[in-house]
Amino acid sequence: MRLQGRAALVTGAGSGIGAAVARRFAAEGAKVAAADVNGAAAEATADTILKAGGTACAITADVSRGADVQAMVDRAVAAYGRIDILMNNAGVMAVTPFLEVTEAEWDRTIATNLKGMFLVGQAVARRMVQDGKGGCIVNTSSVNAVLCLPTSVPYTVSKGGVKQLTGAMAVALAPHGIRVNAIGPGTIATGMTREMVADSNTLRAIKSRTPLGRVGQPDEMASIALFLASDEASYITGATIYADGGRLPLNGVVPVPS
């Protein structure tokens, strides 16, 4: 029960890593506000937590819209009185050759993955500063913050931005006792990667570039988020933990084909 009595807001909580983190935080004693642009998915995650004996509420919000973000934060505070932990996780990804990326796809990806990460982080941090008790923010970045993915350029650029945003937030918020870190997942078995993992040739390529020889699981990312959100990581801020099965050490900074 490492998060006993704390209130956590998890964005992108309707599926994948976000849902796994929401469930794990609740199992460790946190009161969880599960937020997602898909309201039904957020409700499903909250219901799972409630059935397991935890405390949860569901919030529908589009993190790329400032009004939605503020309403989401207000709803979480209304439910639990404060926000001690933010899992800043909402994100999108499209697989498109560079020469075929449209302006609309670029705008949607950057607005959700980077602008949304900023808007949510800022709104929650303002509340944490107002409450004066510090807090913890965990952003979801990606191994592609470092490794270039030529078939998902907007995603790659957005996650590189998240890496820098994490460091900047950590320095800016340290005087307020707010720690800011990030997780950099490799290929994880989520809805975002379902089609890639289902294709035998793509899966073979993924395994070949991953020293551990397998795809990661959302619960493994939840374990890292739990560590970063807990007092066990009390002297860690501004860091990105890459959980990629060894892909980054194997490839360095050399662009890797998808």
Q: State the Cα angle at 93 between 92 and 99, rounded to 5°.
A: 135
Rounded CA-CA distance 77/186 in Å is 33
pLDDT tens across the length of the chain (258 residues): 999 999 999 999 999 999 999 999 999 999 999 999 999 999 999 999 999 999 999 999 999 999 999 999 999 999 999 999 999 999 999 999 999 999 999 999 999 999 999 999 999 999 999 999 999 999 999 999 998 888 899 999 999 999 999 999 999 999 999 999 999 999 898 877 767 777 777 778 878 888 888 889 999 999 999 999 999 999 999 999 999 998 887 765 444 444
pLDDT at 226: 98
- Which CATH code, of 3.40.50.720, 3.40.50.150, 3.20.20.450, 1.10.10.10, is assigned to 7-245? 3.40.50.720
From 27, 69, 22, 25, select the one nearest 41 (Cα to Cα). Answer: 22
pLDDT at 200: 77
Catalytic hit among 80, 155, 235, 242 = 155
Q: Taking the domains of the chain in order of start, what are their residue ranges? A: 7-245
pTM for this prediction: 0.92
| 155 annotated active-site | yes
Rounded CA-CA distance 106/156 in Å is 11
pLDDT at 204: 83
Please state the φ and ψ torsions of residue 236, each to the nearest 5 degrees: -115, 125
From 50, 32, 39, select the one nearest 14 (Cα to Cα). Answer: 39
pLDDT at 254: 43
pLDDT at 253: 41
From 139, 26, 124, select the one nearest 90 (Cα to Cα). Answer: 139
pLDDT at 251: 65
